[in-house]
Copies of this chain bind each other. A is one copy, B any other.
Amino acid sequence: MKVSAQGSVPDLAIIAVRGMPEVRPGDNLTELLLATNIDLRNHDCLVITQKIVSKAENRLVAIEPTDPLSHKPIVESESVRILRRRGNLVISETAHGFICANAGVDLSNVERGQAALLPKDSDRSARRIKEQIHARTGVSVGVIISDTFGRPWRRGLTDIAIGCAGIAAIVDMRGSTDTFGRQLLVTEVATVDEIAAATELVMGKATGIPAAIVRGLPHKWFRESSVRSEIVRSPSEDLFR
């Protein structure tokens, strides 16, 4: 009997959402996403980049286009605490509890004279889109809002989740395999961050793909959750604040 090679059916498929138009303030993102004719199925997880959520929610502020530092007061006002400064770079904590460069204020891929702020509540944004998709199509998906953050100690940026709905932010992967009773580290995996990272691989930065679908995640991961309640670490349990 010939055993066929592994790998004919992927365990996980990542599908870029192509054909999204430029998003403008007031646009309904759900309508725009569905208009691309994406094939959404139950237990798909839809990942949407922060930039188009911020644009749709009109989280845009005017800056002086000829002044390369005109966004700096905005960074300060979006920060509740400054952790580090070096040159023009500010690492600060936002009102959401995120710690990132320039409080998430973003000048790339927005119109000249504008800066994009983080959504006010990305968990709520994700929940709204999830509910609209269900109302429009009857399909129940998880939704993640992703953004691109740096991290200490390691070069390079990775995409992480700043909001989620209908998909577990954290999954406890502890199994029964370690029978020795001496599991040193808890293995609570930040699945939403791993899903966001995975989709960044097909979205890139300059290709005009602001969303992607992950298909094949375990059904039990689809539950009510939020980044705010499960991922953001409180200062009291944080060793690096």
Q: CA separation between A65 and B179, bound complex, in Å?
A: 13
Q: A68-B182, A194-B158 are in contact. Are A187 and B12 (CB under 8 A)?
A: no
Does A151 count as interface, using CB distance less than 8 angstroms?
Answer: yes
Q: CA separation between A230 and B156, bound complex, in Å?
A: 9
Copies held by the complex: 2
Q: CA separation between A188 and B205, bound complex, in Å?
A: 10
Interface residues on A, range: 35 or more
- Contact at B201–A12, with CB atoms within 8 Å? yes
Question: How far apart are A198's CB and chain B's nearest CB, in angstroms?
Answer: 4
A217: B residues at CB distance < 8 A: 201
Identify 29 residue pairs between A and B in the complex whose beta-carbon atoms are under 8 Å apart, listed by A's number. Answer: A5-B38, A6-B17, A6-B19, A7-B215, A10-B10, A10-B15, A11-B212, A13-B13, A13-B14, A14-B14, A14-B198, A84-B239, A84-B240, A86-B239, A99-B153, A102-B184, A107-B182, A109-B177, A112-B180, A148-B187, A155-B231, A156-B169, A156-B231, A157-B187, A158-B194, A158-B197, A174-B205, A177-B205, A194-B198
